[in-house]
Every structure is written in structure tokens, then in C-alpha cells.
């Protein structure tokens, strides 16, 4: 059965095409208890894929529109010498499957899924279902539906309001000043990691996630950033989607301007209000609401994700919920897993951009501890706001330059008519002008990938996504081809 991608999945697919290495690998590592029954474990892995068929899929490209189809083979329980080997082995998206089950040393199970079909909550579901099948049980029956299609309908309904919402908020983020460096990257890179417990205080009227986000914004402001922006991973699961493994998540930005004289509790309450406004559009990818938004692995150099862990230990054994995938999207990702025994943080970072990662961790720990003692303290009394204000910088991964106007093709160029016809087919429009911008015509990343695919199939020419974004007219695209 073919399944269309959700809009969020489509964004991941584009980022993966642009080179995301292992940034979209989502591993779970389980130290299995007792004597391992390899036969029962293999059957349990197979049963989980049958229960959640997205895991057994691959991607098929149909005129630039990717769809999920059953993979030629289903995953089987494999073996590897190390956990890192199991985690970092590439996925072939076009052959699949998009999950692997690997036994390391006979007692450690490593499950790695691609983010296209998996999210943080999916880890809980997978571990719980594996345990049930391994112990000879059968989980409650699932009602399967085309959740991506339902999400597309909801997004289409929300899109006009979301476009208005982000029109007054979104702008390209500047570099983020940090001790010893400047965070600029929004691509994917090899990463280092620091893991540590994190003291998350409970404050009246605020969730733990809101306290964490507010603290990160205050800390970054204290490093000299007049405006702070972080990318947030927000869950989009509906009640019907709750028991299903899949990619029910969307990344959205959050901007703030912390003031040294504000009490922390007041600043956090204001940030909470902005978050609640953002939640109304949590299912709408920013690339659909903001015309011309260039694809990136991350919306901002700094991103935050947070989730609650199961209340009880898995019958399978000890689970590493934040197992490291050896990559980072952006320059810094702060991932938090909050369980009954407290919060654990995994700081994944590009060491070329964040040379003083330990300093940042120490500063955040001290700030959260101080907030727990007195959330009414002024920000200036919680952190040092004497750092000079950083000069805004453009992101490091700058796009190629646009084709000069004097290189634009003439209207009589035969290639113009061929390219224009493809645009009109994909956009469902007539009489597109030579200099009409695709984003003004309602185009977005999905239509662009469809146009690129059809130009390759029908005309035998290729153009990169970056070139298309910088030359987003028929004339501009033809000029790029003619170079």
C-alpha cells in the first residue's frame, strides 16, 4: 500500500537528500535482562514491524513526490560488533526498511529507526510492544488509518492563519553567541555529546518544558544575544495517533528578548503565553507558512526537545532512551528525557562551533538550581548580563549566489517554453510569466521537488534545490541550466 508523506516527513526527506548523515537516526539501546532467548527476540522484532508497518517501508519517488511503499525485504534480527556500528550504518531510503534490530554482544539490543517513520514517543511504544511480544503476549489491536492524509487536511485548513501568525514573527536567525564561539550552523554535522542529570524545578503555572525553555533563553541572553531564538521539537499526535509509531513531530522556532530586570517567573510566563499561541499551529511546518523558506536540517542553530519517560522500568531491561546517533542538526541540540527519577540531558554539539560545551552545561545547571530556590529573582541576579551584545551574523551555510540579471534568457528561448509548461503542470496554472516568482504563485518545497524531478525526466537536466531557491522564476531556472 502506498502512503503519502506528511508535510513534516517531506521536510525530513528534503533534508536527508541534502546530506544529513546520521542526524535522522533514532536509536534505542536496551541492556537485556537474564538469559536472552534469541528466537523469541527475533519473533518479537518481526511482530513489531507487522504491527507498525511504517517501519517496514521504503521511499519511492513519483514525479518528485515521495511516497512510502512496502520495502522489498522486512528487517530481521542482525548482529554487530559495537553499538556505534549498529547506530551509524546508513539507511538506503529507497530500498528500506527504515528500521533495524541489531544484537550486540548477545545481550544488548540496538533498535535504530529513521526519523521519517519514528519520533521520541515511538521509542516508548516500540519498547512496550517488544516486551509484550517477547513475553508471549499480544498488544491491544490497532486501528490503522492514513494519518498523513488526515494531517494534510488539518494543515490545509490552518495554513492561512498560520501564514499570518508567522508573517509577524519569523525572520532568519542570526548567529548565537556562546562562551568561546558562535553558533551558526543549521545543517547536519558530526557531533560530540555530553550527558548529565539536569535539575528541573517545578514552578506554579509552568510545565517542566516551559521552565527549561525559559532557562535556556535566559542563559543565551546572558551571553550577549539581544534576541534569542531556539528551534523546538513539538509533538503533533492526536488521540487517534497516540498508539501508532510514526513521525508525529514538527520543529518550530521561538523568539524572545529577555530583559535583565525581569523576574524569571514573569519572563517564563510571557514565554509560556507565546508558546501557547504557537501551539495553535503546531502541525503546520514553517516551510508551508513562510514563502521561500530555504530547507535546513534545523530552523535555528540551537534546538530543544523534551519528553516524559514511562513511569516503570521496561521488563526487557535497562533502556538508554537518549542513545547517541553521533550527529547534530544545527550547532547544538539539547535533548531532555524526564522520568520518575528526574531529568537527564543529552547535549549534542558541533565541537567546531561550541568549544566550551562544559561551560554551557555548568551555567545551565546553576541557573536552574537558582530558579528552583527563588523564581522571583531578577534575571540579572540569576546570571551575569555584563557580556557585550553580540553583533548579528549571517548563518555560515550561505546559499549560492543568484544568476545575474544580464544572464536571463530571452522569451523566445525554446527551453523557456519547456520549463514553463512543467511549472504550469505542477502548479495547475496557466500563463505563468517569465519572471513570476514561484513563491508568489503559491509554490513551496514540495512543488519545487516535483518540478525538479519532471525537468530531469522530461528534459534530462538537473538543478539543485539551493539554485532553485536563489533563482525562483522560469527565467532564473533556465539561466541556471544554461550556465
**CATH code of residue 464:** 1.10.1200.10
User: Domain for residue 142, yes or no?
Assistant: no
Co-location of 70 and 191 in the same domain = no
Co-location of 123 and 194 in the same domain = no
Co-location of 219 and 307 in the same domain = yes
With 0-12 CB in 10 A as exposed, 13-18 as middle and 19+ as buried, what is 105?
A: exposed
Query: What is the C-alpha to C-alpha distance for residues 71 and 100, in angstroms, rounded to an integer?
Result: 13
Model-level pTM?
0.91
CATH of the domain at 299: 3.30.559.30
Co-location of 228 and 124 in the same domain = no
Co-location of 130 and 173 in the same domain = no
Query: What is the C-alpha to C-alpha distance for residues 464 and 477, in angstroms, rounded to an integer?
Result: 10
User: Domain for residue 143, yes or no?
Assistant: no
- Look-up of cell digits 539536569: 198
C-alpha cell at 430: 496557466
**Res 386: pLDDT:** 82
Co-location of 356 and 427 in the same domain = no
Helix/strand/coil for 228: strand
User: Domain for residue 145, yes or no?
Assistant: no
User: Domain for residue 430, yes or no?
Assistant: yes
Co-location of 347 and 442 in the same domain = no
**Res 300: pLDDT:** 97
User: Domain for residue 397, yes or no?
Assistant: no
CATH of the domain at 119: 3.30.559.10
Chain centre distance of CA 420: 33
324: nearest Cα among 27, 20, 110:
27
Co-location of 118 and 175 in the same domain = no
Asked if omega into 97 is within 30° of 0 (cis), the reply is yes
- Range(s) of the domain holding residue 89: 3-134
**Res 24: pLDDT:** 96
Co-location of 416 and 336 in the same domain = no
Tally the domains of the chain.
3
User: Domain for residue 387, yes or no?
Assistant: no
Co-location of 362 and 265 in the same domain = yes
With 0-12 CB in 10 A as exposed, 13-18 as middle and 19+ as buried, what is 388?
A: exposed
Query: What Cα–Cα distance (Å) separates residue 363 from each residue in 65, 115, 356, 468?
Result: 45, 31, 11, 42
User: Domain for residue 389, yes or no?
Assistant: no
- pLDDT tens, the chain, 483 aa long: 788 898 889 888 888 877 788 999 999 999 999 999 999 999 999 999 999 999 999 999 877 788 999 999 999 999 999 999 999 999 999 999 999 999 999 999 999 999 999 999 999 999 999 999 999 999 999 998 888 889 999 999 999 999 999 999 999 999 999 998 899 999 999 999 999 999 999 999 999 999 999 999 999 999 999 999 999 999 999 999 999 999 999 999 999 999 999 999 999 999 999 999 999 999 999 999 999 888 889 999 999 999 999 999 999 999 999 999 999 999 999 999 999 999 999 999 999 999 999 999 999 999 999 999 999 999 999 999 887 776 656 554 444 555 565 555 655 678 888 888 888 888 888 888 888 988 888 888 778 888 888 888 888 888 887 788 888 888 888 888 887
Co-location of 164 and 284 in the same domain = yes
Co-location of 265 and 344 in the same domain = yes
**Res 397: pLDDT:** 47
Helix/strand/coil for 302: strand
Amino acid at each position: 500500500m502506498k502512503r503519502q508523506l506528511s508535510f513534516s516527513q517531506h521536510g525530513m526527506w528534503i533534508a536527508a537528500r541534502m546530506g544529513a548523515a546520521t542526524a535522522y537516526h533514532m536509536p534505542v539501546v536496551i541492556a537485556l535482562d537474564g538469559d536472552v532467548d534469541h528466537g523469541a527476540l527475533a519473533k518479537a522484532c518481526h511482530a513489531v514491524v507487522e504491527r507498525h508497518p511504517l517501519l517496514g517501508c521504503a521511499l519511492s519517488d513519483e514525479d518528485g513526490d515521495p511516497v512510502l511503499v512496502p520495502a522489498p525485504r522486512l528487517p530481521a534480527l542482525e548482529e554487530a560488533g559495537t553499538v556505534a556500528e549498529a547506530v551509524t550504518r546508513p539507511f538506503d531510503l529507497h530500498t528500506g526498511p527504515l528500521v533495524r534490530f541489531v544484537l550486540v554482544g548477545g545481550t544488548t539490543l540496538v533498535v535504530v529507526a529513521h526519523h521519517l517513520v519514528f519520533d521520541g514517543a515511538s521509542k516508548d511504544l516500540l519498547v512496550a510492544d517488544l516486551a509484550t511480544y517477547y513475553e508471549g503476549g499480544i498488544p491491544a489491536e490497532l486501528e490503522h488509518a492514513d494519518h498523513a492524509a488526515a494531517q494534510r487536511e488539518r494543515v490545509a485548513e490552518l495554513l492561512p492563519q498560520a501564514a499570518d501568525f508567522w508573517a509577524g514573527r519569523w525572520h532568519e536567525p542570526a548567529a548565537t553567541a556562546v562562551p568561546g564561539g558562535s553558533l551558526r550552523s543549521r545543517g547536519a554535522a558530526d557531533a560530540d555529546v555530553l550527558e548529565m542529570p539536569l535539575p528541573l524545578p517545578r514552578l506554579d503555572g509552568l510545565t517542566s518544558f516551559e521552565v527549561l525553555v525559559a532557562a535556556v533563553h535566559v542563559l543565551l541572553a546572558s551571553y550577549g544575544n539581544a534576541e534569542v531564538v531556539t528551534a523546538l521539537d513539538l509533538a503533533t499526535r492526536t488521540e487517534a495517533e497516540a498508539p501508532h509509531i510514526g513521525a508525529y513531530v514538527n520543529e518550530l522556532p521561538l523568539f524572545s528578548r529577555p530583559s535583565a530586570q525581569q523576574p524569571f517567573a514573569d519572563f517564563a510566563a510571557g514565554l509560556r503565553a507565546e508558546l501557547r499561541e504557537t501551539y495553535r499551529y503546531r502541525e503546520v511546518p514553517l516551510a508551508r507558512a513562510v514563502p521561500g523558506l530555504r530547507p535546513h536540517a534545523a530552523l535555528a542553530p540551537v534546538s530543544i526537545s523534551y519528553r516524559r519517560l514511562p513511569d516503570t522500568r521496561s521488563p526487557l531491561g535497562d533502556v538508554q532512551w537518549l542513545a547517541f546517533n553521533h550527529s547534530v542538526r544545527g550547532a547544538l541540540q539539547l535533548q531532555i528525557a524526564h522520568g520518575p527519577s528526574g531529568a537527564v540531558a543529552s547535549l549534542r554539539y558541533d565541537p567546531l562551533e561550541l568549544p566550551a560545551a562544559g561551560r554551557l552545561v555548568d551555567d545551565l545547571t546553576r541557573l536552574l538550581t537558582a530558579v528552583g530556590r527563588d523564581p522571583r529573582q531578577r534575571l540579572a541576579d540569576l546570571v551575569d548580563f555584563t557580556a557585550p551584545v553580540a553583533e548579528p551574523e549571517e548563518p555560515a551555510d550561505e546559499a549560492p549566489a543568484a544568476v545575474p540579471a544580464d544572464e536571463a534568457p530571452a522569451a523566445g528561448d525554446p527551453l523557456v517554453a519547456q520549463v514553463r509548461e512543467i511549472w504550469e503542470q505542477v502548479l495547475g496554472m496557466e500563463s505563468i510569466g517569465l519572471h513570476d516568482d514561484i513563491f508568489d504563485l503559491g509554490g513551496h518545497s514540495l512543488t519545487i521537488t516535483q518540478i525538479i524531478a519532471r525537468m530531469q525526466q522530461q528534459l534530462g537536466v538537473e538543478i539543485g534545490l539551493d539554485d532553485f531557491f536563489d533563482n525562483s522564476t522560469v527565467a532564473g531556472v533556465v539561466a541556471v541550466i544554461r550556465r
